[in-house]
Structure 1
Amino acid sequence: NMYIITGRENFSTSSITTIDCYNSGTSVRIFSALALLVKGGLRLIGEFFKRNRPIKPLLEALTKLGAQYSLQEEGVIINRKDVFCKSIDIRGDISSQFITALLILLPLLDCSTKGLIEINITTKLVSYPYVKISLDILRNFGISIIEETNSNGLLRYLIETGQKMRTQEYEIPADFSSASFIIAAAALSKEESHVLVKNLDFQNPQGDKKIIEILEQMGAKIQINLTDRSVLVFGNISKYPLKGRRIDCTNIPDLFPILSVIGAFAQGTTHLYNAESLRFKESDRISVMASELKKMGVSVEEQEDGLLIHHTKTLSGCIIDHRKDHRIAMACAVAALYANSESIIHNIEIVKDSYPQFFEDLESLGAHIERKT
């Protein structure tokens, strides 16, 4: 698919525009920032707010840029009342999307005074590769942002306001987060098999490409072809058994659900840690993965920042409750492929949040999926 986007100098509405962001944290946080560019502001609603997911630190940061907001149970109204711009201090250990939203907004913002605006990250920044992706895209479109590390090892960004994006053609790279489910399914196969996954750009700063390295370290056989931008994953887990290991999830939180499943099939114990931010995603992914794996017979210990997952010889099918979380649904579907009885997943349309063809791709690999209405 190709999208042609025509830029505009100004955005204004005669009445406030309402956007339903459903349960998309990315949409809520980025549109919260972009509301400052819309004369009249924006009203954001959706499941996100009903689940009480974190947004307040970003809204408070936006007040440093002249914003005012009204946060209620059903949504938030944001508009800009003043054109001053002050430096921002914001935590980085809740959601990297707070930082991404500010990085997108600040270069485009008009301010009453000229000069560099600082974004000071006051804690360790989780999910840094996702911020790196945003910086990479912004620089591709001609935006200048300076990234520095202070004496305490914390990041800060220096941004000149009033910049203009240049027009260009941009190819959206394949998503390693989505590919991780297929790669894992291939590595967990009991059959002598191989699966070729194409169009994976290892030069792209996506942190989730680490799924390849992790699986290889655990014992999977994977061949990488940088020229063809592909990976060949070999099946037969008896021939290429996986061994449990400690995995730091600080920069790869989106891999946590599928790594939890991989851990159930790995010999010994797999320890996923530094994943506290996952308690505030589309669901509490730490608690939900523990719950669903236990239903399948896996020995799991839930910790504050992650999971201890012990090797389980045989998984049992069950009724999976993904809590309307697309990554939980896909991870549990991969687990269900290798259970000793059928599993039922309701509302499978939830995977359209990130991977609309997920179940079709599983079927192309030989999975038996029966759809019921």
Structure 2
Amino acid sequence: MAFRGTISLPGDKSISHRAALFAALRKGESRFVNFSKNDDCASTLSCLKQLGVASRWQEDVLIINGMSPAEWHQPAAPLYAGNSGTTSRLLSGLLIHLPFATQLTGDNSLSRRPMERIITPLSQMGGQIESADGHLPLSFYPAKEIHGIHYPLPVASAQIKSAVALAGLYAEGETIIIESTPSRDHTERMLGLPFTYKDGRKYIHVKKGHPLPDLSMTIPGDISSAAFFIVAALLTPGSDITLQNISLNPTRTALLTVLKHMGGAIDITPVQEKPEPIGHIRVRHSRLQNIPIDQSFIPNLIDEIPILSLAGVKAVGHFEIRGASELRVKETDRIRALVENWRRAGLSVKEFDDGFSFCGPQQFEKTRITTFGDHRIAMTFAIAGAACGTEMTLDDPDCVSVSFPEFFNILDRLTS
């Protein structure tokens, strides 16, 4: 079964979250075409609605009527972030400023994910936050004063960076965020935050009163969603697909770099550079060779490691992921989920605290996949079955709606 065709994908999830949150801060109307309709982004819109920020759909255009957080309303019930780490962490940077108490909750999966990583800097800024031992629910109380800080990021995390940046927009004094390892830079780009480099580190400067731009835009297709079909086309003889208007933000394209080095026939046609790079991606079937993957790639490859593991299974040579302990605290423990499912499918896989390894190519067997309710695990093994002609039965296929509810329809279109 070959993958063939030209398609566009739903809007980038990371950009959609930020578009909604940043538009909510700016007085007036913002309009977004191709805003992602996944469950996570719906959680962001729902939380904003509870705070008094109205949004509505006009056919396929999302319209948000923003206003200063000083005009936000106290919600009648706890804010519910669902499964969305981006919603909970970025919104926290704004909730510390509100003159009333709020509580932020999430589903069981999100409630297991670490929140101390945002509680620490936001508390240093003066935020009054209570947590369930560093996890959701988080309770926010009115603070006497929120002040800027100089904060070196302890891990490469766009969510921590963005939470502190949002808090800094309304804090007294300057906030400087110091980043040693690059992470997604959508927040800096979209807000137009100034930054400098010194001694190999990035210094992002945030001051109260920073002008908020009108971000009305057509949101580019999600590169993390594209990743599944890119790998599928590379592995399946006769495949030739083109993905149009995909986000090519350089902090998100490590997967393309790795796959090209593995021998993947991937051609990129740029169509826009600012504010976000966008382009068309053509992918054709290729014979892949596994290569060493430097740990410096991992922060900007973290969401694509599940589907990259499938490429590694079918490529020739040793495949190894290390330095990826962050996978342990995603929607599920993705290292464990991948290792258990690949072993169940008959593969020989070695597990480490911070990754896994195996030798390719290996054949896998018909099996029932335990998704652990994780959208990326589900889509990885759905592609494994479709691309390699082996039946993979998912225990919870509906979990893909967290990030990509259109996934199975697009999969059918490319293989029909």
TM-score (normalizing by structure 1): 0.84
- Whole-Å separation in 2 of the counterparts to 1:313 and 1:301: 14
Q: Which moved more, 1:293-302 or 1:88-97?
A: 88-97
Mapped to 2, the partners of 1:251 and 1:325 lie a distance apart of 19
Kindly provide the CA deviation profile for residues 85-119 of structure 1, in whole angstroms up to 9, marking residues without a partner as x.
Answer: 14143543264311111112312x143xxx42233
Partner residue, 2:122? 62
Deviates more, 1:254-263 or 1:98-107: 98-107
Question: What is the distance in 1 between the residues matched to 2:395 and 2:109?
Answer: 23
Return the match for 1:232 from 279, 282, 287.
282
For 2:377, the equivalent position in structure 1 comes to 328
Deviation at 1:226, TM superposition (A): 2.6
Inter-partner Cα distance in structure 1 for 2:400 and 2:375: 5
1:1-373 aligned within 5 A: 1-9=60-68, 10-14=70-74, 17-47=77-107, 51-72=111-132, 75-93=137-155, 95-107=157-169, 109-111=170-172, 115-120=173-178, 124-125=180-181, 128-130=182-184, 132-139=185-192, 144-149=193-198, 151=199, 153-189=200-236, 191-202=237-248, 205-227=249-271, 229-235=279-285, 240-248=286-294, 249-339=298-388, 341-366=390-415
Q: Offset at 1:14?
A: 4.7
Q: 1:15 to 1:268 in 2, by over 3 A?
A: closer
Cα distance change, pair 161–299 in 1 and its aligned pair in 2 (3 A): same
Q: 1:60 to 1:222 in 2, by over 3 A?
A: closer
CA distance change for structure 1 residues 106 and 41 in 2, over 3 Å: closer, same or farther? farther
Tell me how far 1:176 sits from its aligned partner. 0.7
Unaligned runs of 5+ in 1: 368-373
What runs of 5+ residues in structure 2 fail to find an aligned partner?
1-59, 272-277
For 2:213 and 2:155, locate their aligned partners in 1 and report how far apart those are by CA, in whole Å.
32
Question: In structure 2, what is the Cα distance between the partners aligned to 1:182 and 1:45?
Answer: 33
Give the Cα–Cα distance (whole angstroms) in 1 for the partners of residues 250 and 225 of structure 2: 12
Aligned residues: 345
Contact 1:276 1:304 in 2 (8 A): yes
* TM superposition shift of 1:183: 0.7
Say if 1:270 and 1:320 are closer, same or farther in 2 by CA, change over 3 A.
same
- The Cα of 1:46 is off from its aligned counterpart by 1.3
Closer/same/farther in 2, CA of residues 201 and 99 from structure 1, 3 Å limit = closer
The 2-side partners of 1:94 and 1:168 are apart by: 26
Letter matched to residue 294 of structure 1: R
8 Å Cα contact 1:18/1:43 also seen in 2: yes
RMSD of aligned residue pairs (Cα, Å): 2.4
Under a length normalisation based on structure 2, what TM-score does the superposition of the two structures give?
Answer: 0.76
Question: Judging changes above 3 Å, is the alpha-carbon distance between structure 1 residues 39 and 11 closer, same or farther for their aligned structure 2 residues?
Answer: farther
If asked which structure has higher relative contact order (CA below 8 Å, sep 6+), I would say 2
The question of whether the paired residues in 1 share the 8 Å contact of 2:195 and 2:202 is answered with: no
Q: CA deviation at 1:339?
A: 4.8
Kindly tell me: are residues 87 and 40 of structure 1, through their superposed partners in 2, closer, same or farther at Cα, counting changes over 3 Å?
Answer: same
CA distance in 2, matches of 1:21, 1:289: 26
Q: CA deviation at 1:184?
A: 0.5
- SS of 2:131's partner is strand
C-alpha change, 1:162 and 1:48, in structure 2 (3 Å) is farther
Identity among equivalent pairs (%):
25
User: In the TM superposition, what is the alpha-carbon distance from 1:224 to its structure 2 partner?
Assistant: 2.5
* 3-state SS of 1:3 partner: strand
Evaluate the alpha carbon distance shift between residue 95 and residue 47 of structure 1 in structure 2; reply closer, same or farther with a 3 A threshold.
Answer: farther
Say if 1:271 and 1:307, in contact at 8 Å, map to a contact too. yes
